[in-house]
Amino acid sequence: LLRALSPKDLAGKHVLVSLGPTREYFDAARFWSNPSTGRMGACVAMAAWLRGAEVTVVAGPVSWWFPEEVRVIGVTSAAQMHEACLEVWPSSDYGVMAAAVADFSPIPFEGGGKFKKEAAGERPPLEFTPTRDILAAMGGVKKPGQYLIGFCAETDNLVDNARGKLTRKRCDAIIANPIGRSDAGFAAPSNEAVALDADGRQETWGNIPKTDMAMKIWDFSIRS
């Protein structure tokens, strides 16, 4: 019923949403990750579905329930998320990268199996390599008519950093939100954000539920 009552301004559009954290395994028992729960991305995906879109979700290890028509591709690592997103992106009209992709992966323990802590001595043998930037890769192969929305999590200089990411990653819009507080960002039911687009539009959204913010993101992004 809710879907029947919503505006259908995304009818016939393909929407790709990435959400959740990624996990970068060091050994059979340990991984590097972040506190993302996927809630903001799940709200964006649901809002797109309500507005008539055909939705594909690429989800890190989190559990959200979606309507049957929503296609969900479950992934674990940043490399798997990269592969899934780049496969779906060419046939999408909108891409919304809400995932908190790990920027670094530990080089896996060479022995295979589980690393024993006694073998570590003072420090575990941890070295990291950078992951590939999925959003930037999508921006690099973006075709005319495709609309790419990135997110941006910052503790400082929110707007300046967001503008930089918008240009660098060739996005059409960036939703920038402050992190490091309990009432917004990671895992919180509500969020605060600044929306920026490539044409210089800028809107500030006060503390509102992520369900409402998802609708605002679409209001901001859908061009007639």
Residues lying near Ca ion in the complex (CB under 5 A):
103
Name the catalytic one among 34, 157, 161, 191. Answer: 34
Nearer CB in complex with ligand CTP: 46/97: 97
Query: Which amino acid makes up residue 62?
Result: V
Residue 134 lies near ligand CTP (rule: CB under 6 A): yes
Residue 153 lies near ligand CTP (rule: CB under 6 A): yes
User: What's the alpha-carbon Rg for the chain, to the nearest Å?
Assistant: 18
Which of these, 123, 74, 82, lies nearest to 103 by C-alpha position?
A: 82
Quick one: what does residue 39 bind among Ca ion, ligand CTP, none, with the CB cut-off 5 to 8 Å set by partner type? none
Residue 195 lies near ligand CTP (rule: CB under 6 A): no
Is 165 marked as binding a ligand? yes
Q: Are strands 173-178 and 128-130 parallel, antiparallel or unpaired?
A: unpaired
Q: CA angle 154-97-177, nearest 5°?
A: 25
- Which pair of tokens denotes residue 117? 């802590």
Query: Which amino acid makes up residue 162?
Result: A
Which of these, 104, 57, 56, lies nearest to 79 by C-alpha position?
A: 104
In the complex, what is the shortest distance from the CB of residue 136 to ligand CTP, in angstroms, rounded to a whole number? 7
User: Is 34 part of the annotated catalytic residue set?
Assistant: yes
* DSSP code for 119: G
Query: Which amino acid makes up residue 53?
Result: A
Residue 103 lies near ligand CTP (rule: CB under 6 A): yes
- Which pair of tokens denotes residue 177? 């939100």
In the complex, what is the shortest distance from the CB of residue 133 to Ca ion, in angstroms, rounded to a whole number? 8
Question: Length of the chain, please?
Answer: 224
SS3 of residue 222 by DSSP: coil
Binding segment (CB under 6 A) for ligand CTP, from list 25-33, 59-67, 86-94, 147-155: 147-155
Which residue has the closest beta carbon to Ca ion?
A: 103
Could you say which residues in the range 58-87 bind ligand CTP, by CB under 6 A? 78
Residue 133 lies near ligand CTP (rule: CB under 6 A): yes
* CA–CA dist 26, 106 (Å, integer): 6
Quick one: what does residue 152 bind among ligand CTP, Ca ion, none, with the CB cut-off 5 to 8 Å set by partner type? ligand CTP
In the complex, what is the shortest distance from the CB of residue 102 to Ca ion, in angstroms, rounded to a whole number? 8
Which positions touch ligand CTP (CB under 6 A)? 78, 97, 99, 101, 103, 131, 133-135, 150-153, 165
